[in-house]
Copies of this chain bind each other. A is one copy, B any other.
Amino acid sequence: MRLEQMIERLKESDCRITPQRYAVLKVLANSSEHPSVESIHAKLVEHYPTMSLATVYKTITLLKREGEILELEFSDLGNRYDGRKPYPHPHVICTECGKIIDPSHLDLEEITSKMMEETGFKIMTHRLDFYGLCPNCQG
């Protein structure tokens, strides 16, 4: 589903669907754990021993440009990616183990409108993260 959408979008932009790109897209389309570049690469080298980190980075750059993945920037942990829901949505993040989950939808549209009125900014997107300890790490 998401995989097909991603492929379609890349084809429309005259990008070639190489085996490497297909493999990266597949991981992103099927992962709900918000993988890092490192973990995507690690998962792929098993089947594609020559797969390079650079290719993963380049594919992700492509998908970002096309709006097909959401990038969660962390200056410490390294960035994490969401290929299934490439639009802004809240995240709950464990500061101990790095686990990231999506809570059920929370509508920030009204708040965003208020922010625009108050600040004069033309707001295009947002980021809402909650940080704490997941059930496993509270022991």
Assembly stoichiometry (copies): 2
Interface range on chain A (Cβ under 8 Å from partner): 35 or more
Q: Are A122 and B138 in contact (CB under 8 A)?
A: yes
Say which residue of B75, B121, B134 sits within 8 Å of A121 (CB atoms): B134
The interface residues of chain B lying within 8 Å CB-to-CB of A120 are: 134-135
The reply to whether A103 and B115 contact each other, CB–CB distance below 8 Å, is yes
Is A122 in contact with B131, judged by CB distance below 8 angstroms? Answer: no
CB < 8 Å: which of B74, B112, B122, B138 contacts A73?
Answer: B74
Q: Which of A88-139 contact B (CB under 8 A)?
A: 90, 92, 94-95, 101, 103-104, 106, 111-112, 115-116, 118-135, 138
Complex interface: chain B residues within 8 A of A46 (CB) = none
Out of B124, B135, B138, name the residue touching A133 (CB < 8 Å).
B124
A131 to B71, CA, bound (A): 14
Check A103–B119 contact: CB distance below 8 A.
Answer: yes
Q: Which of A104, A112, A116, A131 has the most CB of B within 10 A?
A: A131
Give the residues in chain B near A76, CB-CB below 8 Å.
Answer: 73
Q: Answer whether residue A30 sits at the interface, using C-beta atoms and an 8 A cutoff.
A: no
State which of B92, B104, B123, B134 has its C-beta within 8 Å of the C-beta of A92: B123
Please measure, in the bound complex, the distance between the C-alpha atom of A111 and the C-alpha atom of B125, giving whole angstroms. 19
A103 to B112, CA, bound (A): 11
CB neighbours of A61 from chain B (8 A): none
